[in-house]
């Protein structure tokens, strides 16, 4: 809908071009005197889409400066064939009042966007559109759903196999109260086999649940006015989208029944994977906040301008670019900080997301929003998006020989690591849910990865699955002029209590973790036995490895050692070439050094700086002997053509049981130092060049870490089967090959 003056603008804009028939289209630069300020306001209130977005591009203090005689000029500004609409304001004498501002960005030609979209946008412009639960919003949601179900070959069709959860909420009609129904009883006669799932944040406010003593009441009916607002709005969405059944975790699982919780929680994979679509309550901190938010949808959705042209009408779509009515950022969305919701959104083939200012849509083929129906912002990283596609690959064209996506077992395991890293950055109310809340994704991935999954680990990839480390809060010491990072007691995470998984599993912590880059590692140990309950509710388990071990004393980096190292080497410029860094770094930079001794140290001077990295799970006394277990290696080629080895090792301490250990950290040991050699780059120290003589003198190069033999005597290449050949070790390395059990 455009006012008379905006229609005149559209009729004249392209006629200002010198374009001739048959020539490639080029956007002209066109300026048009549009309105006085009072007329602009009236046209905006009358829902002229151009005037409305111009008016709402003004800040309140700018509106106060306008008078009835202030003029508005509308410009069509070409920008590399991606034009925009720009408005400028002037006083009665023609002097600019404010900076010109863009009010519309070119989205696309009506005949080149998704079929039917321009007509839907025209409908939405005529419908009530005052909030995200308006008729216009649901019309857009209908469009996305219909396009996905009928036109997307890679998206699974809803209710394909007739699966329905054990309990669902029958939302009924607008004149009925919803009620809980048990789909396993003979009395259940489904109105339809499809259902909708809800993904929401429970929050700190107590929410409506089903318990053993309220189950019968819930099945008799749940008065709509007693339901929390998120649930009530979800019922309205389900009805509006012509669905009959809704699944809400707090109502469809008996919350005080351990047996029911365990039986239903392991069904999460199917529940979300086979839902017609999932409603995501992104912005509400709890069930009381509601799905719908007030906003003017005409300031959100693309609008159409029909330009007159020599060859006929050219219909262009523009995205509104005014001041956001509801400012927000992704950090403002509580849903994405909750652990449970990651698998809910990954497993959902279609998701209707309620953001603070608009609806968003995600399916396996497209992701859009009311602002950008075909090209919205994707909420997942590309890795998580890929694993979502892999989970559903069997449903669509991806499963044919012409598949656009193929995921082998190694790739899927790497993608799984991305999911775990994202998951561990989220919050869980109950630590005991750590494995349960991601079991659905594991089940879905397990169907493709062809490997046994247990307590967070894929058996066939055990040597890679063990290589994770904690992202603890490590801060530089502000009293020192150095970027050295320091471990302090308060910085280190604590293991979940009670125990949620074996110590070698990432699930034993409730903190951010990182996996070593997946494709670069090769096994350096042998799996003897993996014993677990294979139940996400049971945290017990052990892994037995045949591996090379070394017993050493490790010095956790502390401010005293760092300060001493900085004072000792300040200005001398001694450098160490770390294998993954192009720029040499300070020899005593603790980011690339482990401080180790083979015996319990009596003096600090007995510490040896070994090239590598140490990521502890907990603080360990230097007097405590730590067993390092070689798990995997990564070869790095140096300039001499020698593959120096990075060894990835777990640090373990004995438990109270004989021959049993627990994990206490992770280490990477560089440049064949694990074998007792230093196979890094050349060791010579070079004098400064003539150009540097007038400057502060700095030696360039590196020195060999104390206690390591010259790498020129080291045997290369090292053969693995899968353990490294014993001849690769220096006689002073103190390696012991053994079977070791970690719990």
d(CA 245, CA 289): 22
Residues 28 and 103 in one domain: yes
For 41, 97, 118, 377, 486, the CA distances from 72, given in Å and listed in that order, are 11, 10, 28, 33, 59
Say whether pLDDT at 716 is over 80: yes
pLDDT band at 312 (very low <50, low <70, confident <90, very high): confident
pLDDT band at 571 (very low <50, low <70, confident <90, very high): very low
Q: Are residues 105 and 144 in the same domain?
A: no
> d(Cα 460, Cα 465) in Å, to the nearest integer?
9
CB 335 within 8 A of CB 118: no
Confidence of residue 491 (pLDDT cuts 50, 70, 90): very low
C-alpha to C-alpha distance for 55 and 705, rounded to whole angstroms = 69
Q: According to the model, what pLDDT value does residue 704 have?
A: 65
Q: Is 738 helix (H, G, I), strand (E, B) or coil?
A: strand
Mean pLDDT over residues 406-415, rounded? 85
Is the pLDDT confidence value at 693 over 80?
A: no
C-beta of residue 454 within 8 angstroms of C-beta of residue 460? no
Domain shared by 144 and 104, yes or no: no
Q: What is the pTM of this model?
A: 0.84
Residue 502 lies in a domain: yes
Instruction: Give 569's pLDDT tier (boundaries 50, 70, 90).
Output: very low
Looking only at the bridges linking them, the beta strands covering 513-515 and 608-616 are: unpaired
Q: What is the pLDDT of residue 167?
A: 96
Letter string b/e over residues 652-683, b meaning 16 or more CB atoms within 10 A of that residue's CB: bbeeeeeeebbbbbbbbbbbbbbbbbbbbbee
Residue 622's pLDDT band (boundaries 50, 70, 90)?
confident
**Residue that wins the pLDDT comparison between 392 and 685:** 392
Q: Range of 679's domain?
A: 470-742
Could you tell me the two tokens for 410? Answer: 């190694």
pLDDT value at 106 more than 80: yes
For residue 592, the model assigns a pLDDT of 63
Q: How far is CA 77 from the centre of its chain?
A: 37
Rounded percentage of the chain residues whose pLDDT exceeds 70? 84
Of 570, 477, 524, the C-alpha closest to 737 is 524
Look at residues 109, 130, 162 and tell me which one is the last residue of a structural domain.
109
What's the pLDDT at 378? Answer: 75
Is a pLDDT exceeding 90 seen at residue 177? yes
Are 468 and 505 within 8 A, CB to CB?
no
> Of 147-151, 307-311, 500-504, which range is least confident?
307-311
Task: Please report whether residue 404 resides in a domain.
Answer: no
Q: What separation in angstroms does the CA of 395 have from each of 157, 274, 400?
A: 8, 11, 10
Average pLDDT of the chain, as a whole number: 84
Domain end marker among 399, 416, 434: 399
What is the structure's pLDDT at 556?
A: 67
Q: Which helix (H) or strand (E) holds 258?
A: helix 258-265
Mean of the pLDDT values across residues 528-545?
A: 86
Q: Is residue 172 located within the same domain as residue 68?
A: no
Q: Is 426 helix (H, G, I), strand (E, B) or coil?
A: coil
Q: Which residue has the higher pLDDT, 58 or 585?
A: 58
Cα–Cα distance for residue pair 337/283, rounded to 1 Å: 11
448 belongs to a structural domain: no
Q: How far is CA 671 from CA 562, 647, 715, in A?
A: 23, 9, 13
Place of tokens 């180790």: 596
Q: Which residues on neighbouring strands pair with residue 653, listed in sequence order?
A: 662
Same domain as 732, residue 611: yes
629 shares its domain with 581 = yes
User: Two tokens at 424?
Assistant: 């561990």
| pLDDT score for 563 | 41
589: confidence class by pLDDT, cuts 50, 70, 90:
very low
What pLDDT shows up at residue 382?
A: 82
In this model, does residue 108 exceed pLDDT 70? yes
Identify the CA nearest to 314 among candidates 108, 157, 515.
108
| 3-state helix/strand/coil string of 453-489 | EECCEEHHHHHHHCCEEECCCCEECCCCCCCCEECCH
Residues 17 and 105 in one domain: yes
- State how far Cα 340 lies from the chain centre: 14
Sole residue written with tokens 């060791």:
683
What is the distance between the alpha carbons of residues 102 and 108, in angstroms, rounded to a whole number?
17
Q: What is the model's pLDDT at position 717?
A: 86
- Confidence at residue 663, expressed as pLDDT on a 0 to 100 scale: 96
Total domains in the chain come to: 3
- pLDDT for 578: 41
Domain co-membership, 540 together with 665: yes
The distance of Cα 12 from the centroid of its chain, to the nearest Å, equals 47
In a domain, 412, yes or no: no
Helix ranges (DSSP H) in 28-153: 37-45, 49-55, 60-65, 117-126, 135-151
| Residue that is last in its domain, among 364, 380, 399 | 399
Domain contains 420: no
pLDDT (mean) for 440-466:
90
CA–CA separation, 159 and 169 (whole Å): 17
Q: Is residue 321 part of a domain?
A: no
φ, ψ for residue 282 (rounded to 5)? -75, -40
pLDDT at 196: 97
What is the reported pLDDT for 558?
46
The answer to whether 478 touches 440, Cβ cutoff 8 Å, is no
Place of tokens 């309550």: 281
**Pair 288, 385 in one domain:** yes
Mean pLDDT of 166-180: 94
pLDDT in tens, 258-303: 999 989 988 999 999 999 999 999 999 999 999 999 999 999 999 9
Same domain, 226 and 366: yes
For residue 123, is it within any domain?
Answer: no
Which residue shows structure tokens 């919803």? Answer: 178
Q: Are residues 16 and 146 in the same domain?
A: no
Residue 431 counted as domain residue: no
Residue found under tokens 């892994």: 543
Comparing CA positions, the residue from 568, 555, 560 lying closest to residue 616 is 555
Mean per-residue pLDDT, 411-423 = 91
Task: Using alpha carbons, select from 149, 124, 143, 144 the residue that is nearest to residue 134.
Answer: 124
Residue 713 — pLDDT band, cuts 50, 70, 90? confident
- Residues 67 and 150 placed together within one structural domain of the fold: no
């Amino acid at each position: 809908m455009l006012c008379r003056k905006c229609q005149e603008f559209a009729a004249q804009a392209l006629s200002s071009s010198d374009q001739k028939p048959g020539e490639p289209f080029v956007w002209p630069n066109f300026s048009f005197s549009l309105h006085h300020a009072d007329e602009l306001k009236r046209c905006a209130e009358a829902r002229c889409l151009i005037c409305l977005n111009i008016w709402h591009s003004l800040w309140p203090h700018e509106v106060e400066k306008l008078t009835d005689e202030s003029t508005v000029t509308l410009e069509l500004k070409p920008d590399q064939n991606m034009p925009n609409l720009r408005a400028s304001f002037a006083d009665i004498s023609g002097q600019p009042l404010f900076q010109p501002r863009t009010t519309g960005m070119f989205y696309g030609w009506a005949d080149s966007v998704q079929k039917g979209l321009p007509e839907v946008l025209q409908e939405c412009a005529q419908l009530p559109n005052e909030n995200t639960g308006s008729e216009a919003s649901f019309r857009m949601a209908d469009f996305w759903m219909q396009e996905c179900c009928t036109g997307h070959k890679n998206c699974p069709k809803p209710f394909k196999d007739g699966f329905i959860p054990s309990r669902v909420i029958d939302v009924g009609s607008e004149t009925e109260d919803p009620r809980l129904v048990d789909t396993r009883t003979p009395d259940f006669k489904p109105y339809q086999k499809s259902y909708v799932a809800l993904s929401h944040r429970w929050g700190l406010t107590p929410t409506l649940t089903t318990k053993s003593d309220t189950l019968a009441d819930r099945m008799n009916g749940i008065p709509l006015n007693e339901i929390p607002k998120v649930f009530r709005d979800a019922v309205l969405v389900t009805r509006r989208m012509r669905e009959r059944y809704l699944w809400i975790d707090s109502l469809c699982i008996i919350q005080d029944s351990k047996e029911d919780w365990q039986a239903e929680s392991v069904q999460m994979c199917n529940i979300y994977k086979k839902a017609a679509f999932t409603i995501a309550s992104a912005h509400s901190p709890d069930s009381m906040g509601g799905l719908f938010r007030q906003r003017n949808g005409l300031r959100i959705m693309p609008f159409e301008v029909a330009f007159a042209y020599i060859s006929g009408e050219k219909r262009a779509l523009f995205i509104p670019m005014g001041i956001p009515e509801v400012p927000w950022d992704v950090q403002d969305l509580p849903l994405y900080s909750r652990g449970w919701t990651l698998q809910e959104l990954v497993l959902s083939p279609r998701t209707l997301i309620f953001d603070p200012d608009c609806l968003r849509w995600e399916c396996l083929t497209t992701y859009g929003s009311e602002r950008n129906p075909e090209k919205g912002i994707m909420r997942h990283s590309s890795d998580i998006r890929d694993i979502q596609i892999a989970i559903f690959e069997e449903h669509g064209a991806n499963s044919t020989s012409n598949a656009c996506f193929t995921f082998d077992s190694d790739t899927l395991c790497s993608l799984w690591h991305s999911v775990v890293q994202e998951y561990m950055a989220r919050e869980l109310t109950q630590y005991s849910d750590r494995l349960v809340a991601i079991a659905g994704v594991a089940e879905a991935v397990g169907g493709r990865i062809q490997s046994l999954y247990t307590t967070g680990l894929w058996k066939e990839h055990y040597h890679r699955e063990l290589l994770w480390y904690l992202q603890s809060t490590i801060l530089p010491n502000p009293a020192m002029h150095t970027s050295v990072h320091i471990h302090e007691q308060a910085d280190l995470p604590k293991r979940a209590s009670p125990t949620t998984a074996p110590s070698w599993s990432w699930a034993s912590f409730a903190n951010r973790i990182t996996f070593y880059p997946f494709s670069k590692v090769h096994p350096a140990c042998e799996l003897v036995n993996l014993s677990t309950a294979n139940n996400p509710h049971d945290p017990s388990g052990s892994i037995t490895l045949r591996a090379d071990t070394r017993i050493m004393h490790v010095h956790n980096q502390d401010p005293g050692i760092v300060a001493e190292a900085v004072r000792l080497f300040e200005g001398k410029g001694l450098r160490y070439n770390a294998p993954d860094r192009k720029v040499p770094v300070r020899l005593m930079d603790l980011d690339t050094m482990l401080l180790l001794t083979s015996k319990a140290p009596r003096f600090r001077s007995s510490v040896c700086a070994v090239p590598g990295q140490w990521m502890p799970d907990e603080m360990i006394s230097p007097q405590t002997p730590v067993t390092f277990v070689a798990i995997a290696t990564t070869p790095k080629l140096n300039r001499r053509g020698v593959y120096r080895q990075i060894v990835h090792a777990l640090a373990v301490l004995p438990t109270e049981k004989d021959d049993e250990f627990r994990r206490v950290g992770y280490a990477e040991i560089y440049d064949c130092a694990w074998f007792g050699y230093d196979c890094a780059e050349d060791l010579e120290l070079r004098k400064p060049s003539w150009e540097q003589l007038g400057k502060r003198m700095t030696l360039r190069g590196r020195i060999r870490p104390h206690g390591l033999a010259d790498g020129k005597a080291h045997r290369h290449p090292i053969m693995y089967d899968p353990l490294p050949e014993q001849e690769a070790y220096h006689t002073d390395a103190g390696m012991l090959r053994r079977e070791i059990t970690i719990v």
